Structure 1
Amino acid sequence: MALKDKLEAVLNVGLRVPSIMLLEILYRWDVSSFFQKIQRSSLNNNPLFQYKYLALYLHYVGYILSLVLLTLPRQHLVKLYLYVLTALLLFTYIHTDFILDYVRSELDSGYEEPLYLEPLSMNRFSTALLAQLVVCTLCSCVMQTKRVWLFSAHLLPLVARLCLVPLETIVFINRFAMIFTGLEVIYFLASNLLVPYNLAKTAYRELVQVVEVYGLLALGMSLWNQLVLPVLFMCFWLVLFALQIYSYFSSRDQPTSRERLLFLFLTSIAECCSTPYSLLGLVFTVSFVALGVLTLCKFYLQGYRAFMNDNTMHRGMTEGITLLILAVQTGLIELQVIHRAFLLSIILFIVVASILQSMLEIADPIVLALGASRDKSLWKHFRAVSLCLFLLIFPAYMAYMICQFFLMDFWLLIIISSSILTSLQVLGTLLIYILFMVEEVRKEPVQNMDDVIYYVNGTYRLLEFLVALVVVAYGVSETVFGEWTVMGSTIIFIHSYYNVWLRAQLGWQSFLLRREAVNKIKSLPTASDLQLKKYNDICAICYQDMKSAVITPCSHFFHAGCLKKWLYVQETCPLCHKQLKSQSQPANATAVPAQDILPANPNPAEAGQGEPVAVAAEGDKTVTQNGVPVEGSQASPSANPNLELEGKAEEYALGPQQADTVDSVYLEGQVAGLSQGSGESCLRHRQPQQSASSPAAATSTACGAEL
């Protein structure tokens, strides 16, 4: 963004802040109490204050004016502020009676001779002339006009004094200058009287066109982006808060203690959320503060790389919406300042707990990925571990402080439970990170590492479930034996459903899937050394050599641990996607005789270039392409000679080179015959080296993503 665009954006926000301030003042202004004070004062006899309804109408006109200032386009808003600034300069100069004071000083002195003969008269004249020239120059610069004479009417008394006009006449000249300036202002207002009407008419026409073409939602989004409402309300609230702090310290002579500063901070925030406008300002301020904290967290963990793949979920809006819902539900703006500060402290604790949870959501995948990688950077590991330690200690400290300062009730128990859950989740993340680092240090991988990680996750998930159960039990007991409220019952119901029922259901389903996967692995036969030697292939999931393996019903070999991870996700074979069901046969029984299992990588020279390796056998043959059964590939044993003869016929008809091309297309990928039962054979052609896009690679990638 260019510097000009940045300045325009700042100007767009800064010029609209006074409109929100005016709305705040009008909301706080009590018209009835204002007129009661006037009736008790000497202004009661003034005809202007006799009409109460006129003041009420002016009150509503103020609201309309504020909304107009809020929605006015930036170009017209700049012009309006320039006009107002010029009017203030003229009004200030007239109101101070600077020229009139000069004329009175000259009358009192009685000196009517040339100015240069009297030093005092010359000094008074020079001061008045310099002040008038400054005002004229400022007004012409603000109005961007070269007609300086429009603002020079008050120079007439000075010119008259320079021309030795009698002092009594100079008084009338000064009055004429004031009347002339007033007439100029009236003429300007009259000539621009229809400007607001024309602007409103143009705006209404554009709004109707936008609504007809794009709809109300597009109109609302356009106004939201044009007015930059979140930034506008945040700036308004910060100005309000700064004024509150300044008014406090300007009335205090003694230094404030640390406890007093905390109380001052809470009471100032409570004073600055007594209206709907200031409450919205606080909501957007909290959202931007949360966004800043989460952005710093990302930057601390990943540096500038964090801004390349930014997550749209962590924008701080969750914390702001939480504050708004709690403030509206508890009637925050209707309370007294002390009660509002007390309630606001509890709400801010909830917001801080939500920010800590969002920080954990950011840090958890980064820490685990760092532990599983081979990155040796100590600085990266230090940043990750230090942030996790902060997220482990600070929520526990916050829960301790809540217990120290407040009496325990259901709402505070929810805050404390949220802090405890955050600490438990961080503890589980750190334990898994330590396990990954231990596995990295060891030369050989840790056996059953997935089971250990599952048990760690299951332990802290169980602790989370117990904490949620305690919160529900406390809330139910408080509702039954204490004061019953609709809001409390609703919170208990929502908490019971999401944090108790859904967690219990999810945990039980995970346990059942794991137990079923273990039973399936135990039911599969284990491959013997002879079978592994004849199979002569790697595990299609992890791409590692197989010293031990299990055999699926579709005669595919996998590591038992790799296949178990796959079965946690889905109950199909990773290669052919056939359904895997538990078998009742013993675990050590072999599904296929050793003589029927062909090598996975046969020598192409023995089989012939471009021709499939065929072994005569009985039973059906299933041809697969890239690990997936090809439709219509079932054939009887008698069909094999026909396939071979058709290949030869194509070779003689097309020529050797074209026949090789047809064979390479026909045999692209993996063509595997999957035998079922003993005595069946396989029709298989395997490439010497498996490509990166093979079905095993896809299977391994999918398995890793799911795990």
Structure 2
Amino acid sequence: MENSEQEKNIIMRFSNVILRLPSVFILEAIYHARTRFISTTTTKDTVAETIAHDWGLEPHMVTIGTQYLGYFVAFLLHALPLRMLIKMYKFVLIGMMLLVAHLLSDHFISTQIINPLNSQLPMITIFLIQSAISLFCAWLVDTKHVWVFSVYLLPMVASSCSLPLDVQEMVHKTAQIITLTGVTVFTLSNILVPYRMALIGYKTLQEYVELYGIVSVIFAVYNRFFVPMIYLIFWLSLFAHRLYVYYSKKDSHVFQEQWILVIFASIADCCESPWSLIGLCYTVSYSAFLLLVLCKIYLKGFSELGGQSFLHRGWTEGITLMLLAMETELLQLKKLEKILLLSVVMFIVLSSTIQSVYEILDPVILALAASNSRNVFNHFRAISMCIGLMVTPLYLSLTLFTVFEADLWLMIIVSSCLLTAIQTLGSLMIYFLFMADHRRSEPWESLDDIVYSIHALCHVLEFGLALSVLFYGGMESLHADYNIVGGVVILVHCYFNVWQRAQAGWQSFLGRREAAHKINSLPSASKLELSALQDVCAICFEEMKFAKVTPCHHFFHNVCLRRWLYVQDKCPLCHNSIIPGKNGASSDANNDNRMAAPHGLDVNLGQ
């Protein structure tokens, strides 16, 4: 039962996407037709002028009317519920079938008039096709009155009865009149249906606004009109068609070009309207999401696919692409300029995706090192991905510098990409340190200092990248005319990437130096005290061969206590101040009490 329900839901979702897909193609066609009409207004022999001349209308009236009709149809395909949408498609399909029946009947009568003995389609074949059309239309509307759709069988019945040709032609015209009359009556009887549905939709919208607020309604409308899967299939269809056009040209030199140029040229050709740009953004989002899912499967397996955060679902990359396209006016550029700009934009998007992959990788590789996992394959997967995250940004940056001339914008883009390589290198070094620590027989007291040094080195490299970008921007401003936007970019870069990084690094250094000073002010435990204690560190629960003694006479590892002092100055067990001179009275009283009590009792009370 559950499987059937799931299959039904999958079919309904698939139908919801496929049946609404033509709406985006209609919008795309309207945009291109309007652009083409504007560019050909100076010419005389346009399709719009021909139609206008036949009907006695102005060309712009025909064009505007066609646009509004297309927008209305696209709106219906987006807004109608699935049940009503299926019903509308049924009626459209019946209309197309009746048109085919009319054309077959007209072909039959024309053949009978011109040359009855030289017909391309025999009468029996046309009769079978007309019968199939009648049965199919009756099945679509779920009626047993098949005769309603069988009027175009009358000309063939008249021909089989050897009636004169003028009688057969009159019967054909009669069938045409009956069909047109039926279609007209049906259309007039349902002409108010769109108005009623619009009224129901308006009242429903008002109720939703009152219940859930305007923001929820905006998101609901967005989810109805901008279904990601629809735009994904739409753009992939355009892209596949463009690739087919490239490779189907016999005289084209596309096989002699590099495949990356063909890909970017195809993307540029599929990015000529707002609808195709939206489709490209959704395609990038899904591609980034797929890449992140594959990376997560590669690292953790299929059991860890749940719980992706919003930033790890690929939407960041799609939104970034849309903002950059709007900022650079991508749709207004020529093809070569569009290809160059798309290559830079895709580099930025790929850099963001690589950073998201690192955010998935970092806790995995550190957890492997901390847990000392014996699964060699898990370690191989993490290390191989680290190597990939270090090599890929370097390769992309080198490629970008070989294609474009160095400027401030390019330096900022490349530096943001290289930061991922630096962070990955730091995580990999820490991983190897933890793995080496697990192989030691004694605790590595200076491990925390080395890890801190690696973090500090990574921050220094990041700070150096930020300074190099700042220096290059300053040198460029001296040798060229610099606009306000460039100055704002330098100021923002100075604040976020230089000043804040330097301030955070300095605060971290001061905090660590203060913690080291606090630890050095505490006495070290002697071997006699540790042997009498026979206990573990209350922070890490491991055996103590070296320890520091707090003023409240509690024993902790040096490294563990220093990490604790990064957060607060209270003892982890009794919450008294660890720093000499603070809460002196209470500390002295506690020390006096502990000196008067037996040593073992004091330890038990402390724990």
TM-score, normalised to structure 1, is: 0.79
SS at match of 1:201: helix
Give the superposition deviation at 1:569: 2.5
Give the superposition deviation at 1:26: 1.6
Indicate conservation of the 8 Å contact 2:284/2:317, yes or no: yes
Other-structure match for 1:453: 451
Other-structure match for 1:556: 554
Matches within 5 A, 1:183-202: 183-202=181-200
Counterparts of 1:305 and 1:419, CA distance in 2: 30
Give the superposition deviation at 1:408: 0.8
Summarize deviations over 1:246-265 as a string: whole Å, max 9, x none: 33334445673263433221
Q: 2:336 aligns with which of 332, 335, 338?
A: 338
Max Rg structure: 1
**C-alpha spacing 1:436/1:528, structure 2 compared with 1 (3 Å):** closer
Q: 2:30 aligns with which of 11, 26, 31?
A: 26
Other-structure match for 1:102: 108
**C-alpha spacing 1:255/1:335, structure 2 compared with 1 (3 Å):** closer
Are 2:91 and 1:93 equivalent residues in the alignment? Answer: no
Indicate conservation of the 8 Å contact 2:423/2:458, yes or no: yes
Counterparts of 1:171 and 1:564, CA distance in 2: 102
**C-alpha spacing 1:367/1:121, structure 2 compared with 1 (3 Å):** closer
Other-structure match for 2:127: 129
Counterparts of 1:65 and 1:121, CA distance in 2: 39
Counterparts of 2:95 and 2:470, CA distance in 1: 65
**C-alpha spacing 1:102/1:531, structure 2 compared with 1 (3 Å):** closer
SS at match of 2:311: coil
Counterparts of 2:343 and 2:10, CA distance in 1: 36
Give the superposition deviation at 1:564: 1.4
Matches within 5 A, 1:498-647: 498-533=496-531, 535-581=533-579
Counterparts of 2:601 and 2:221, CA distance in 1: 63
Counterparts of 2:528 and 2:122, CA distance in 1: 118
In structure 2, what residue type is equivalent to 1:204?
Answer: Y
Summarize deviations over 1:522-567 as a string: whole Å, max 9, x none: 1112233454455554322222343443222222222222211211
Higher percent of residues as helix: 2
Indicate conservation of the 8 Å contact 2:254/2:262, yes or no: no
Other-structure match for 2:18: 14
Q: 1:494 aligns with which of 475, 492, 495?
A: 492
SS at match of 1:386: helix
Counterparts of 1:423 and 1:493, CA distance in 2: 25
Are 2:296 and 1:293 equivalent residues in the alignment? Answer: no
Counterparts of 2:71 and 2:114, CA distance in 1: 49
**C-alpha spacing 1:564/1:175, structure 2 compared with 1 (3 Å):** same
Indicate conservation of the 8 Å contact 1:674/1:682, yes or no: no
Indicate conservation of the 8 Å contact 1:621/1:681, yes or no: no
Indicate conservation of the 8 Å contact 2:138/2:145, yes or no: yes
Indicate conservation of the 8 Å contact 1:410/1:475, yes or no: yes
Indicate conservation of the 8 Å contact 1:620/1:680, yes or no: no
Give the superposition deviation at 1:583: 6.6
In structure 1, what residue type is equivalent to 2:14?
Answer: V
Summarize deviations over 1:402-449 as a string: whole Å, max 9, x none: 111111111211222123222111111111111111122222233311
SS at match of 2:71: helix
**C-alpha spacing 1:110/1:428, structure 2 compared with 1 (3 Å):** closer
Q: What is the percentage of aligned positions where both structures have the same residue? A: 38
In structure 1, what residue type is equivalent to 2:386?
Answer: C
Other-structure match for 1:413: 411
Counterparts of 1:239 and 1:159, CA distance in 2: 45
**C-alpha spacing 1:48/1:87, structure 2 compared with 1 (3 Å):** farther
In structure 2, what residue type is equivalent to 1:447?
Answer: E
Counterparts of 1:273 and 1:195, CA distance in 2: 37
Are 2:73 and 1:65 equivalent residues in the alignment? Answer: yes
Other-structure match for 2:347: 349
Summarize deviations over 1:384-415 as a string: whole Å, max 9, x none: 11111111111111111111111111121122
Give the superposition deviation at 1:90: 1.8
Are 2:369 and 1:363 equivalent residues in the alignment? Answer: no
Are 2:311 and 1:313 equivalent residues in the alignment? Answer: yes
Give the superposition deviation at 1:240: 2.0
Indicate conservation of the 8 Å contact 1:439/1:446, yes or no: yes
In structure 1, what residue type is equivalent to 2:221?
Answer: L
Give the superposition deviation at 1:123: 8.0
Give the superposition deviation at 1:582: 5.4
Other-structure match for 2:64: 56
**C-alpha spacing 1:415/1:549, structure 2 compared with 1 (3 Å):** same
SS at match of 1:90: helix
**C-alpha spacing 1:312/1:59, structure 2 compared with 1 (3 Å):** closer
**C-alpha spacing 1:17/1:501, structure 2 compared with 1 (3 Å):** same
**C-alpha spacing 1:249/1:348, structure 2 compared with 1 (3 Å):** same
Summarize deviations over 1:441-472 as a string: whole Å, max 9, x none: 22223331111111111112111110111112
Give the superposition deviation at 1:689: 9.0
**C-alpha spacing 1:686/1:128, structure 2 compared with 1 (3 Å):** farther
Give the superposition deviation at 1:581: 2.6
Are 2:596 and 1:681 equivalent residues in the alignment? Answer: yes
Indicate conservation of the 8 Å contact 1:621/1:682, yes or no: no
Give the superposition deviation at 1:505: 1.1
Counterparts of 1:80 and 1:164, CA distance in 2: 40
Other-structure match for 1:436: 434
Other-structure match for 2:213: 215
In structure 2, what residue type is equivalent to 1:28?
Answer: H
Give the superposition deviation at 1:172: 0.9
In structure 1, what residue type is equivalent to 2:557?
Answer: H
Give the superposition deviation at 1:142: 2.9
Other-structure match for 2:85: 77
Indicate conservation of the 8 Å contact 2:415/2:466, yes or no: yes
Give the superposition deviation at 1:62: 2.8
TM-score, normalised to structure 2, is: 0.91
Indicate conservation of the 8 Å contact 1:13/1:228, yes or no: no
Counterparts of 1:448 and 1:516, CA distance in 2: 17
Q: Which moved more, 1:223-232 or 1:344-353?
A: 223-232
Give the superposition deviation at 1:81: 1.4
Counterparts of 1:313 and 1:447, CA distance in 2: 38
How many residues are paired up? 598
**C-alpha spacing 1:280/1:483, structure 2 compared with 1 (3 Å):** farther
In structure 2, what residue type is equivalent to 1:441?
Answer: R
RMSD: 3.0
Counterparts of 2:431 and 2:294, CA distance in 1: 22
Counterparts of 1:126 and 1:305, CA distance in 2: 61
**C-alpha spacing 1:11/1:689, structure 2 compared with 1 (3 Å):** farther
Q: 1:304 aligns with which of 302, 308, 313?
A: 302
Unmatched runs of 5 consecutive residues or more in structure 2 = none
Give the superposition deviation at 1:188: 1.1
Counterparts of 2:594 and 2:540, CA distance in 1: 30
Indicate conservation of the 8 Å contact 2:594/2:602, yes or no: no
In structure 1, what residue type is equivalent to 2:195?
Answer: Y
**C-alpha spacing 1:308/1:288, structure 2 compared with 1 (3 Å):** closer
Unmatched runs of 5 consecutive residues or more in structure 1 = 112-119, 585-618, 623-672, 697-707
Give the superposition deviation at 1:190: 0.9
SS at match of 2:468: helix
Counterparts of 1:356 and 1:621, CA distance in 2: 54
SS at match of 2:259: helix
Give the superposition deviation at 1:682: 4.8
Q: Which moved more, 1:404-413 or 1:521-530?
A: 521-530
Indicate conservation of the 8 Å contact 1:234/1:285, yes or no: yes
